[in-house]
Amino acid sequence: MSAAATNDDFVQPTSFAFSEANLAEAKKHIAKYPKGRQASAVMPLLWLAQYQEGWVSRVAMDVIAEMLEMAPIRVYEVATFYTMYNLKPVGKHLVQICRTTPCWLRGSDGLTEMCKKKLGVDLHGTSADGKFTIMEVECLGACVNAPMVQINDDFYEDLTPETLAKVLDELAAGRQPKIGPQVDRLNSAPEGGMTTLKDVAKGAGQ
């Protein structure tokens, strides 16, 4: 299994409780399913727990198991099956580097190398200051602006090792860098502004 989940080099917390807002949200999810089928809500609840704490601790899984009246092992199976659940603590900024073919062809390996060197960690490692955790993930659906990374909820696109390093510096300094393409373009529009459909076609609008 992913060594991450068994070889604990960290302390598992002893308690977990959903915040009031998340508890309300969780109840909404549970209510979506017929009685006796609450277990169907396990994924959104795990996600909520992760959203709240940054990762899913064992006690959080126990709490969820109890809420959904399922055996803890069943929750554990789900949580370990999906790679998007973090089963150990992550840094303040979770840097997920896309490594699927388009990003890879456009140099994602260089991004990973830069992060490893800059932060002094391996994949799945957390920097000494607790600010960054890096990991590689599969396609995040922004291939058109490859290579890209996701940091917490935001996409940073059209990266080079240098521009990504700048983004990390900004974040480390507590500032919010520009989200989206790191080159001069709007979303996935052409670099340097529009190139086509700039003038009205002859005869149009007549």
Partner 1 sequence: MPKMTIDGIEIEVPAGINVLQACELAGKEIPRFCYHERLSVAGNCRMCLVEQEKAPKPIASCAMPVAEGMVIKTDTPLVRKARNGVMEFLLINHPLDCPICDQGGECDLQDQAMAYGRGFSRYAEEKRAVTDKEFGPLVKTVMTRCIQCTRCIRFATEIAGTETLGGVSRGEHLEITTYVEKTLDSELSGNLIDVCPVGALTSKPYAFTARPWELVKTDSIDVADATGTNIRLDTRGREVLRVLPRLNEDVNEEWMADKGRFNVDGLMRQRLDRPYVRVDGKLKPATWTEALDAIAAKLKGLDGKKIAAIAGDLCDAESMFALKEVMTSLGSGNLDCRQDGAAVDPKVRASYLFNTTIAGIEKADAILLIGTNPRWEAPIVNARIRKRYLKGGLKVAAIGPKYDLTYPVDVLGAGADTLGQFANGSHAFAQVLKDAKAPMLIVGMGALARPDGAAILAQAKAVADACGLIKEGWNGFNVLQTAAGRVAGLELGFVPKQGGRDIAGILDGTRKGEIEFVYLLGADEIDPSHFGKAFVVYQGHHGDRGAHRADVVLPGAAYTEKDGTYMNLEGRAQLAMLAIFPPGEAKEDWAILRALSEKLGKPLGYDTLDQLRTKLYQANKRFQRLNAVEPAFWEDFGHMGSMGAGSTDAKPFASPIANYYMTDPISRASATMAECTEAFVSPKKKTGTHG
Residue ranges binding partner 1 (CB under 8 A): 1-2, 5-6, 8, 12, 58, 71-74, 76-77, 80-81
Tokens of 188: 């996935």
CB 144 within 8 A of CB 136: no
> Positive or negative CA dihedral for 171, 13, 47, 32?
negative
Q: Which residue, 59 or 139, has its beta carbon nearer to ligand FES?
A: 139
Q: How far is the CB of 12 from partner 1 (least distance, A)?
A: 5
CA atoms within 13 A on the CB side of 124: 12
> Positive or negative CA dihedral for 36, 42, 43, 47?
positive
* Count of beta carbons in the 10 Å neighbourhood of residue 171: 20
Q: How far is the CB of 71 from partner 1 (least distance, A)?
A: 4
Residue whose tokens read 């704490």: 53
Which region holds residue 152: left if phi is over 0, alpha if psi is between -120 and 50, else beta? left
CB 156 within 8 A of CB 166: no
The alpha-carbon radius of gyration of the chain (Å, integer) is: 21
* 140, interface contact from partner 1, ligand FES, none, CB < 5-8 Å by kind: ligand FES
Q: How far is the CB of 15 from partner 1 (least distance, A)?
A: 12
Stretch 148-187: interaction string toward ligand FES, x if CB under 6 A: x---------------------------------------
Q: Does residue 100 interact with ligand FES by CB under 6 A?
A: yes
Q: How far is the CB of 73 from partner 1 (least distance, A)?
A: 4
Stretch 127-146: interaction string toward ligand FES, x if CB under 6 A: ------------xxxxx--x
Residue whose tokens read 């200051």: 129
* 100, interface contact from ligand FES, partner 1, none, CB < 5-8 Å by kind: ligand FES
Q: Which residue, 107 or 177, has its beta carbon nearer to ligand FES?
A: 107
Reduce the DSSP state of residue 16 to 3 states and report it: coil
* 102, interface contact from ligand FES, partner 1, none, CB < 5-8 Å by kind: ligand FES
Contact residues: ligand FES, CB under 6 A: 98, 100, 102-103, 139-143, 146, 148
